[in-house]
Amino acid sequence: MKLTLTYFLLSGLLLLTVCISSLAQTTTQPTLPLCGITELTPQQAQALTKEANQALEKKRASGAVFNTITYIPIRPHIVRRSDGTGGFSMASLNQVMALTNSYYLQNGYGIQFYFAGDTPDNINDDYLYNNGIIYGDGNATNALNQYYVPFISSGAGGYAYYPSNDLISTRSVIAVGGFETEDDLGNRLIPHELGHNFNLIHTFGQNPGNGTLGSGVTTELVTRGVGANCTTDGDLVCDTPADPYNISGANLLYVNGCPQYDPSSTARDANGDAYSPSITNIMSYYFPCIHNFTAGQYDRMQAGLALRQTHTAYTLKAPPTVVTAPSNLTGSIGVNSVVLTWQDNASNEMGYFIERSTAATTGFVPIGGVGPNGTTFTDTKVSFQSQIIYYYRIRPSNTTTGSLSPTLSLSVTPPVVTGLTTTSITANSAQLNWNSLGTNVAYDLQWRAVGSASWYTYTYLYSTNFSLYGLDTKTAYEWRVKVSAGTTYSQPASFTTTCPTPTNLSSYTYQSIAYLYWNSYNGQTYTMQWRPQGNTDWTSVAGIVSGYYSLTGLTPATVYEWQVQGTCTTSPQYTTAFSSPQSFTTLSCQLPNTIYTPDVFSTSARLYWYDTYQESTKTYDIRYRAVGTSDWTTISILSGSSYLINGLTYNTSYEWQIRSNCSPTQSSTFSSSYSFTTTCRVPSYLSSYVTATNAQLYWSSYYALEAGSTYDLQYRPSGATNWITISSLTTTAYSLTGLTTNVTYEWRVRTRCSDTAQSDYSAIFTFTPVCTVPSSLYINQLSSSSAQLVWYGTFDSGTRFDVRYRPVGSPTWATLTSITITSASSGSCVIAGLTNATQYECQVRSVCSDTESSAFTASQNFTTQCREPSMWITVQFTSASVYWSATGPDVVYEVRYRKVGVSDWTILSNLSSTSVSLTGLPTNTQFEVQSRTSCTNGVYSSFTSSIYFSTFSCTPPYGLYVSNRTATAVRLNWSLYYANSDTQYEIRYRIAGTGSWALVGNLTTTNGYGYTDLTNLTSDAQYEWQIRTLCSATESSAFSSSSLFTLCPQMYTLYNGNWNDASIWSCGRIPAAGDILQIKHTVYMPSGLIGTALRIGFDAGKTLNYGTNAQLKLDQ
């Protein structure tokens, strides 16, 4: 027998890697040892894409239905040892294919895979098993063929083939014997390889690099506007961002073990734009925690499917197996899960797919699989965030629409929260912890002091721990938790805060003052004792309410010791031991530690000093004299940090000294001398900015100028004897006009401090007015017969421009003259009457006068063409806004759209703007839209590739919450960002458990957010409310699930804080004039704030403290 080994041309290759997780870590992308087979060239990829799109158009023209599911058979081939051991298990095979199927549905339709046959093709061969290769002619001719091997000899994780009219193109190979997991296989690797089977390319493009797959780097540009190349480079799908995989400077940031693209990455495309790739895309080479395809990739796979359906070397029509349907499907709710069981009635099933939906007959998605004869499955991904009815059904994995089990409906009610523990208990805080009921589950938390009649409540918490702060010391508390959508709280857990001895004692000393600090706690007062070191008796200060105290009247240069004890004001009262004694030493009378003289003028100087050890009673003496003289002039008892000396002699050197006065009997010595010389300072930093006949001159002074100073400016043509002087300038800039072009001038400037005190002139600087050549000439817009040119530079107001242009290679220029200036820094013009599909070159020059012109710029080339616009879409319930980029100065646009699967287009023509709104669309419907440019002379661009979008289903709003609660009123809030501007809403509410609803209608949103106020409510009742969306005159959503709220009949503080901090108040808002308040903590009214209330009460020992000019107005 002749043995033929076949090695394969790969279309895609993924490597098995181990992700190292960290909380937040930046790393470069892993360098993967890829195989040595070259990818498709860009030209091959584009040709294959064109072929697939043509097949799709023919399929549409045939009347094929696209809003349904296409079932595709896969023949599984499992490589095992010769004795039949090893190999991929059927349980794992069903699980990973079920997960794979979940990614191939979009809006309820797409592709679903089923197994062909009633048993897999088991290949029992030690040689193949041990060497990671496959061979032979065992491919099914009526299905895709997927091989499961222990490993691939190259080290790859898998590979597959692009569509071609060849049986081998139906193959994909998956490595299943290494580090891979079912989760990775089903969520990433197999969906990735099947994506290649249906013509998806890696997101980083198909460029070959060094000849091994995955070593190339993308040439796709980031932009999706003018100049975008996403239809010819990268993966040829425009809604997948350009992917910088393998490009130097492209790094990943790992957060909780999940990769994110590092925004500080330095990788840039050819335009210098930063990348922002989709890390989660299934066709990328990243290893994310979540996975997805884009709408454009779904469309491309539909085209790939249409192409495969035209091939003759194979079909995709393997019949589903006739399997007796499972029966007796039942379910029970477990811990964070639903457990399903059923009766297996068949012997020819290849396994079972478990499908789930939240609707009774539609929307089923595979969530897992089991092997043959399986009769149970645990769904661990149910949500307990609200009461939900799940619908389950079981499908044999080698069938399509037949052999389904009966559908099971199961209402999942939020269970009681368990596992309550309290950790990190301190004097004023504690962390509350409880067991999770799954992701995105919201919880309500209540807590109170033991014995208190009312609970403090926090709602809609999305973590399983919460820290309480501002608690009282030595106090027993209890707390409980429930699911926000549930009704039953857990049994309370309790804890008691501590009463600690004060810690972290520290001090900061001056000459006669010591500032003492220690940790302080709510509900604790303090006694501080102090004494000079060596004394036996302590001086005590009791009743201190904070962790700070200021000792005054101390003796300089003396050692003291001090200690603190705390008293918790609970019943019974509890007093701690004193802390260990601490010591400090007061300072001797200190000189200022910074002395300087930056502001020196012609007849005055300001002297500065800075004293770290400033006290309110401390003063200073300064003395000064001309250098070389014997007598000092002394100024005494200064209390500030600077002093201005006047009446000094110009151009004279002085010295000065300073000393500190700490008391009438204690002074420091005078400092050493600091010197300065009175002067009129020379200007510095001269610069100029020129045009053809003007020059803007600038200068500055590093030092402050004395009052009344002006400047003298001189300029002249270089070589001239006499200066032209401009005097008494009060600013540091001056504009010279009427200059001669191409003549060099020199200039200088000096400071005039007074009539008798002037600085020297600065060094001489030069400038030359010129007729400047325009810069940055570029083509802004282009059509088949015109081009808009834009350029920049610095120009006089009367400057005009000449533009010349010609077909490339022509000896003759056409010229546009006397083009007026657009602004002082730019110009533009439109060249019309050009020939389509012709390459031109253009140049521009400045015309500054009848005799002065600049040189022409270098040529800028362009080719006339009627260009396709770049298009993007935003979608609402019953409308979509289509946007596109402007392509030319003299064009209009045409947009056409239709429902997917319908042959006729709705056409919108002669559009002069770059956007249009498609209105009156049905909800939950898929459309495709194209646009093109209409240029002059009947020239059109091609239509753009279709962009597919689906209008949203008519759903209730989300993000429901309440605010502005009072004793009888509340504000209801909601969000719905994809609503139309005319979308309306209805709210109904009632006392929870009663029969009739009150209805509020004609509600709207602004920028996706809406609210309404309810008044005249019953203060001690619990209410429930629901909301629905009125998407059109004939369609509305169901009402949302009920949300509960209670009013706020009494407003009290939750913890210490500022009056104007809404979070410290039980009603979640700042008090208003009609509120009755109870102060249970220490509250501060910030300076200048005016608070209001009706009445106010205080718990024992609690205070309201006022800042400067703060007020509280009662009963207003």
Closest CA to 381 of 359, 412, 353: 412
Closest CA to 1050 of 450, 452, 493: 452
Q: For residue range 597-618, what is the model confidence (pLDDT) as tens digits? A: 988 999 999 999 998 888 888 8
**Per-residue confidence band for 829, with pLDDT thresholds at 50, 70 and 90:** very high
Give the count of alpha carbons within 13 A of 570, CB side only. Answer: 21
Percentage, residues of the chain above pLDDT 70: 95
Query: 828 near 879, Cβ under 8 Å?
Result: no
Phi and psi, residue 654, nearest 5°: -125, 160
Q: Please give the pLDDT value at position 432.
A: 97
**Sequence letter at residue 435:** N
Q: Where are the domains of the chain?
A: 12-308, 327-412, 421-496, 506-585, 594-677, 684-767, 777-863, 871-950, 958-1046, 1051-1114
Instruction: Give the three-state DSSP class for 598.
Output: strand
**Per-residue confidence band for 209, with pLDDT thresholds at 50, 70 and 90:** low
CA distances from 96 to 91, 99, 398, 1091 (A): 9, 5, 14, 63
What is the CATH architecture assignment of 506-585?
Sandwich (2.60)
Q: Please give the pLDDT value at position 1095.
A: 86
Q: Mean pLDDT highest for which of 177-191, 327-341, 731-745? A: 731-745
Q: For residue range 7-50, what is the model confidence (pLDDT) as tens digits? A: 333 444 443 333 322 334 444 444 332 322 346 778 888 889 99
Q: Please give the pLDDT value at position 206.
A: 65
Crossing angle between the packed helical segments 190-197 and 90-102, to the nearest 10 degrees: 60
**Sequence letter at residue 1076:** I
Closest CA to 353 of 336, 330, 372: 372
Q: What is the CATH number of domain 327-412?
A: 2.60.40.10
The domain 871-950 having CATH identifier 3.40.50.620: the answer here is no
Structural fold of domain 421-496:
Immunoglobulin-like (2.60.40)
Q: For residue range 997-1028, what is the model confidence (pLDDT) as tens digits? A: 999 999 999 988 999 999 999 887 889 999 99
Q: Please give the pLDDT value at position 207.
A: 66
Q: What is the CATH number of domain 684-767?
A: 2.60.40.10
Residue 85: burial class (beta carbons within 10 Å; 0-12, 13-18, 19+): exposed
Q: Please give the pLDDT value at position 32.
A: 32
Same fold? 12-308, 871-950:
no
Q: Please give the pLDDT value at position 6.
A: 33
Structural fold of domain 594-677:
Immunoglobulin-like (2.60.40)
**Per-residue confidence band for 335, with pLDDT thresholds at 50, 70 and 90:** low
Helix (H) or strand (E) run with residue 43 in it: helix 42-61
What is the CATH architecture assignment of 958-1046?
Sandwich (2.60)
CA distance 405 to 368: 15
For the chain, the residue count is: 1116
Pick 12-308's CATH classification: 1.10.3720.10, 3.20.80.10, 3.40.605.10, 3.40.390.10: 3.40.390.10
Rounded to the nearest integer, the mean pLDDT of the chain is 89
Q: Please give the pLDDT value at position 15.
A: 37
Instruction: Give the three-state DSSP class for 656.
Output: strand
- Model pTM? 0.48
Average pLDDT over residues 678-694: 93
Tokens 């009627």 locate to: 866
The domain 777-863 having CATH identifier 3.40.50.2300: the answer here is no
